[in-house]
Amino acid sequence: MTRRIAIFASGSGSNAEKIAEHLTNSTDVEITLILSNSPKAGVIDRARRLHIPVLLFDRTTFYESSRVIRLLQEQQIDLIVLAGFMWLMPSELVQAFPNRIINIHPALLPKFGGKGMYGHFVHEAVVAAGETESGITIHYVNERYDEGQVIFQARCPVTPTDSPEDVARNVQKLEHEHYPRVIADLVAAL
């Protein structure tokens, strides 16, 4: 039976593309849908190139209707993957997919997580705090930002001369290396 993944993404979409590449030859997993709140996001062009259908939605649709949940249910989605999606998941959605929503965060949670801690803000905070390491956290999603159970972490060193851009580059390398594989392992165990 083919397992079906939906990816929520609102940024450049580099993780979404790496995940798609990793799964491209798999006969038992497919990326059924990419969902985004941002029509101008790089991920939209990538999805088009990868021939993956896109659903765009706005804040009202997401938080005040059940359209997105209904669609995910109709499409029989097995796993929801957040890859650069910055809005909090509504609790109705979390409850409809228990232990079936995962996120990647560009730091070693529980440090540098929570509302407003996303993208470059995270790397700036890591450098400002004089951290000697950073990394990635892949975790289950609940109704609070960055607080669900941790599935996997990987680390990279941060040197005193590293800029936030240097940290971002090293963290992105870890994301691309590990997220596709962790997703494939989780789907295989469903």
Annotated binding site: 13-15, 59, 103
- Cβ proximity to ligand GAR: between 47 and 77 the closer is 47
- Tell me the closest approach of the beta carbon of residue 31 to ligand GAR, in angstroms: 14
Instruction: Count the residues in the chain.
Output: 190
- Tell me the closest approach of the beta carbon of residue 127 to ligand GAR, in angstroms: 15
Cα separation, 47 vs 70, whole angstroms: 21
Residues that bind ligand GAR (CB under 6 A): 9, 11-15, 83-84, 86, 104-106, 118-119, 122, 172, 175
- Tell me the closest approach of the beta carbon of residue 63 to ligand GAR, in angstroms: 18
- Tell me the closest approach of the beta carbon of residue 107 to ligand GAR, in angstroms: 8
By Cβ distance, which residue is nearest to ligand GAR?
Answer: 84
Q: Which residues are catalytic?
A: 105
- Cβ proximity to ligand GAR: between 13 and 180 the closer is 13
Indicate the annotated binding residues for (6R)-10-formyltetrahydrofolate. 59, 103
- Cβ proximity to ligand GAR: between 29 and 109 the closer is 109
- Cβ proximity to ligand GAR: between 27 and 127 the closer is 127
